[in-house]
């Protein structure tokens, strides 16, 4: 196995006074932009659950120089606070089963923190990152989420969707003001209160809505001989206690993403499931690409 030397870089060091509650808004692994606004806003260039570590290493992502200032890292986003009193920690399980704990670290005032992925001698396998937070004054500890991903050394063999790859997916609140040009995620999560979503107007299909999204490369990257995108998409939505409903196929927007407004204002409480799939325009072949789940509470 090839060896890679990489340091663990705690990138959130704001330690200040104050008092506030804390809710998880985002958690994941991918390419974090470390530009001049890094401390003011968490910007994710790409996220996923499978990465070619060889390409990331050779292109500088482990050193924070990929495409200028992008670093391969884990990230956590909570609420903004001028005087944060919560700290975050991460227990990382490496592909060989060994673990290491990082933190506690303070959040930036904008509510986020990041941790560079320490490749060390690992190049291939499954990783797991368990995040927790701790209150400075009360010492309360909460487990807030787990991220799992895999790495390979070199690109895997071409899969069932040539030309298309998954870059992001999720369930939450998004802004559809520029619905066909910009995928603007406001908040993502796995548990949602039906009453709160209703009170805030997210079921009214206005600018901010509750739904799901799927993001791949721009459609120009997978055109067929006639100049049309070779892949379309669809999804199957399963409400607790009811038969699955199938939607699609539809065309992706030109930047490569799709959204699905979910109006569950009168929907069942419990575990919902949304299965995204691609449809080959020429053959009508249907290929599953991602399953998302969320829990709807009162």
Tell me, yes or no, whether 174 and 75 share the same domain. Answer: no
Tell me, yes or no, whether 293 and 174 share the same domain. Answer: yes
Indicate the residue among 128, 152, 176 that finishes a domain: 152
Supply φ then ψ for residue 164, to 5 degrees: -120, 140
Indicate the residue among 125, 152, 179 that finishes a domain: 152
In a domain, 259, yes or no: yes
Tell me, yes or no, whether 108 and 229 share the same domain. Answer: no
In a domain, 14, yes or no: no
Q: What is the pLDDT of residue 160?
A: 66
pLDDT in tens, the chain (298 residues): 443 434 333 433 333 333 458 989 899 999 999 999 999 999 998 888 888 888 899 999 999 999 889 999 999 999 998 888 999 999 999 988 889 999 999 999 999 999 999 877 777 888 999 999 999 999 999 999 999 888 888 866 555 678 898 888 999 999 999 999 999 999 888 899 999 999 999 999 889 999 999 999 999 999 998 999 999 999 999 999 999 999 989 999 999 999 999 999 999 999 999 999 999 998 888 888 888 999 999 9
Number of structural domains in the chain: 2
Indicate the residue among 99, 126, 152 that finishes a domain: 152
In a domain, 290, yes or no: yes
Tell me, yes or no, whether 144 and 172 share the same domain. Answer: no
The pTM (predicted TM-score) of the whole model is: 0.62
Under 8 Å between Cβ of 183 and 211 = no
Q: What is the pLDDT of residue 14?
A: 35
Q: Is 56 helix (H, G, I), strand (E, B) or coil?
A: helix
CATH number at residue 218: 2.60.40.2550
Tell me, yes or no, whether 145 and 191 share the same domain. Answer: no
Q: Is 290 helix (H, G, I), strand (E, B) or coil?
A: strand
Tell me, yes or no, whether 179 and 280 share the same domain. Answer: yes
In a domain, 160, yes or no: no
Q: Is 292 helix (H, G, I), strand (E, B) or coil?
A: strand
Look-up of token digits 């089963």: 97
Tell me, yes or no, whether 217 and 273 share the same domain. Answer: yes
In a domain, 159, yes or no: no
Tell me, yes or no, whether 121 and 188 share the same domain. Answer: no
Q: Where does residue 37 fall: left (phi above 0), alpha (psi -120 to 50 degrees), or beta otherwise?
A: alpha
Tell me, yes or no, whether 250 and 278 share the same domain. Answer: yes
Tell me, yes or no, whether 209 and 108 share the same domain. Answer: no
Look-up of token digits 């379309």: 232
In a domain, 102, yes or no: yes
Tell me, yes or no, whether 248 and 285 share the same domain. Answer: yes
How far apart CA 286 and CA 260 sit, in angstroms, is 18
Tell me, yes or no, whether 211 and 124 share the same domain. Answer: no
Which two three-digit tokens encode residue 17? 């006074």
Which two three-digit tokens encode residue 291? 């399953």
Q: Whole domain around residue 260: which residue ranges?
A: 168-297
How far apart CA 172 and CA 123 sit, in angstroms, is 33
How far apart CA 20 and CA 142 sit, in angstroms, is 14
- CA distances from residue 64 to 49, 73, 117 in whole angstroms, order as listed: 19, 9, 11
């Amino acid at each position: 196995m090839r060896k890679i030397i990489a340091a663990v870089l705690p990138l959130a060091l704001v330690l200040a006074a104050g008092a506030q509650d804390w809710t998880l808004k985002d958690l994941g692994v991918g390419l974090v932009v470390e530009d001049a606004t890094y401390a003011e806003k968490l910007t994710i260039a790409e996220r996923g659950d499978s990465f070619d570590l060889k390409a990331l290493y050779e292109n500088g992502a482990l050193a924070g120089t990929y495409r200028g200032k992008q670093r391969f890292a884990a990230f956590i986003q909570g609420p903004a606070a001028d005087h944060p009193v919560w700290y975050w920690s991460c227990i990382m399980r490496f592909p060989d089963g060994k673990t290491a704990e990082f933190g506690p670290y303070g959040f930036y005032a904008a509510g986020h923190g990041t941790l560079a992925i320490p490749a060390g001698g690992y190049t291939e396998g499954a990783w797991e990152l368990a995040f927790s937070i701790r209150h400075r004054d009360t010492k309360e500890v909460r487990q807030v989420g787990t991220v799992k991903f895999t790495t390979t050394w070199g690109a895997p063999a071409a899969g069932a969707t040539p030309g298309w790859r998954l870059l992001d997916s999720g369930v939450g609140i998004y802004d559809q003001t520029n619905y066909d040009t910009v995928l603007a995620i406001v908040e993502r999560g796995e548990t949602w209160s039906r009453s709160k979503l209703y009170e805030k107007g997210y079921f009214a299909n206005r600018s901010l809505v509750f739904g799901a999204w799927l993001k791949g490369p721009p459609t120009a990257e997978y055109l067929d001989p006639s100049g049309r995108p070779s892949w379309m998409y669809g999804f199957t939505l399963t409400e607790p206690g009811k038969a699955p409903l199938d939607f699609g196929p539809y065309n992706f927007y030109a930047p490569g993403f799709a959204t699905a407004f979910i109006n569950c204002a009168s929907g069942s409480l419990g575990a919902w499931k949304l299965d995204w799939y691609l449809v080959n325009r020429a053959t009508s072949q249907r290929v599953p690409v991602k399953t998302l789940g969320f829990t709807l509470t009162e």
